[in-house]
Structure 1
Amino acid sequence: MIRLGLICVFWIAGALSTTAQTADPAVAALAAANRLDTASVQLRDASSARDRVKALTETVRAYEDGLGAMRDGLRRVAQRETQLTTQLRARQKDVSDLLGVLQTIETSEPPVLMLHPSGPLGAARSGMVLAEITPGLQARVDALKYDLEEVQTLRLLQQSAAKTLEEGLIGVQEARSQLSAAIADRTDLPLRFVQDPVRTAILLSSTETLTGFADGLSEIAGGEEVVLRTDINDRRGALALPLQGLVIRGYGEPDAAGIARPGLLVAARPRALVSAPTAATIRYLGPLLDLGNVIILEPQSGTLFVFSGLAEVYGEPGQVIPEGTPVGLMGGATVQADAILSLSGEGAGTDRTETLYIEVRMDNSPVDPETWFQTGRGG
């Protein structure tokens, strides 16, 4: 049942992209459908909690990719329909004249068509002229018919997309719920340390800045901590963002209030999955200052990845998690199919209503996250 929704998404996206003269949404949706198929097999064969989490993570990502491809296809179709409708309205007078000529020709009796004030010679010349212009008239009729049929096809596709979107949205919501449960049941991750709840509470109550909290993270670890020996400096600039989104504010760029922060702000869709960009230790997760739910990852000694603004966070402090492990979900209400359809004519990104703040700290000083992550913004 989970796969059915995305197969429908692929079919619609393929049809939409063909109409819009681009194959990108169809290719993305097909790739997502194949990934979902693979994930379904992995989920069926999962023999451990780790395998189940991995398969469900891939299922959620495949759904997100497939639905994103469909949104893209719908947006392009809406733009194409608007373009055609505008062109038809602009040619309204020409269309009316053309229809008038065709109607006159079709309703005139054959004997009347043979008559001409100048006699047989004039009639012959008129016939030659008519023979010359008929192919041109037919070409205009065919072009008009094609445009009208395309507009009708686009509208039918948009109407049929509602059910397909609904199936896909139900599928991804079910996968997210199963993923949350699977992560909660997982007990096979190694621990570097056990968090001391008393020390954590004291640090939270006495901290006024992220810098102060990050500086005191070592104080909340109870028991002996395993030394972290990993080194990922060779991956700087090549890490994927922890979720699918668009960077809307860069390092040190002021917001509307003129406040500049040493991190990236990424716009994402509601309930988007946030994952660890590399293997790391969870140093902290939960509410922090005015940042909402925060998860702080330590991929190597002296380096912290801070993600804030999540609605849900997964895991336990001290856990060493593999690359790609889900660490949380963004907030926001699940978007309904009719809402997606109403946004289909808007530019890309209009449905990305949630924001994730990303800060990278090295030796407890912030650095530009774009020196670590690929953002697609160029140099």
Structure 2
Amino acid sequence: MNRPSARVAMLYQDPHPAHRGFAEAVDADLVDFQRHSLGPLSDSVVGDVYNGLRYPSYDVYLVEGSRPLYAALAHRAVRRSKLVYLCADHGLYSLGRADFEGSSGFKSLVGRFGRPAVREIGSRFVDGVVAVSAFAADFTRPVVGPDTPIEVAHPFIQPDVYDALGGVSPALDANVAVTVGRPWRYKGVDMLVEAWPTVRESFPEAELHVVGGGHPGSYAETPGVEVRGYVENLADAFAPASLYAQPSRMDTFPVSVLEAMRAGLPPLVTETTGTRSEAGALSSDLVVDPSPEALAAGVVAYFERDGAERRELSSRARERGATFDAETRKRAFAEAFDTVLEAL
């Protein structure tokens, strides 16, 4: 399929700003995922399928997020629009794993009895995938099957933030780590806080700054942990630190890691975070298991580095972070999307 001759729409729900940029890069119309009332079935897969049949016909639907995916699958099955999944969340993560059971009744049922059916649906009706990281591509592959084309295209830092962070001079001699994110369990901030007493056994003055609204105030009861809450200017969050930490239990490709690198902060990330590709390119020691023990060991190992090593890592982090500007990444997404369409 050739994109210039195809009508493309992005079906989304609360899109990440970078994904709006992706839609712009491929001249896609934005179609807001909305539920129409079906009584008690409105907030269910049945409701999502019903909604999918109400959307206008396009040649290609680029779908962001798991809930819009259900609707798009129904549209694909009945109206034959091509479906390209933008894998940018962890909705399919557990479906590809042998130990999947899920937290809801529906997910548990799928995990125990319906995984082959899910894979059959994915391989038949998902025509292609653009994943935001190699990690996301890896966990999507078992769901969509071996023959479905998958390309990887990373998101980008918003232009105003990108420009501001380029001027940050982090405090590389300080034993201070910062983490930025929302207070969701999958972000793993609780594990990093749990790790901090172990870090302080080696570095009694070490500080952890938790940035983002909604984190429990009780985190501050752990010595060395400061809950800063929402910070208007990320430069103010990054400047006092020498290390950025992304302790996620699972994360497809958190832009906060890219932002920290743009500001010159080396990132410590978990194996289950898509930006392990970026941290690992700087040093294998910056990628650890998603556990309090491994996080503590990773932070201590970084704080044990001398000033010259820290500056070298900072310079390389800043150089790599500078590659995540909007124009470069939008072009890369368009190329990945075109490659998928050409395979259909």
TM-score range (shorter-chain normalised) is under 0.3
Instruction: Give the TM-score of the pair, scaled to structure 1.
Output: 0.25
Higher helix share: 1
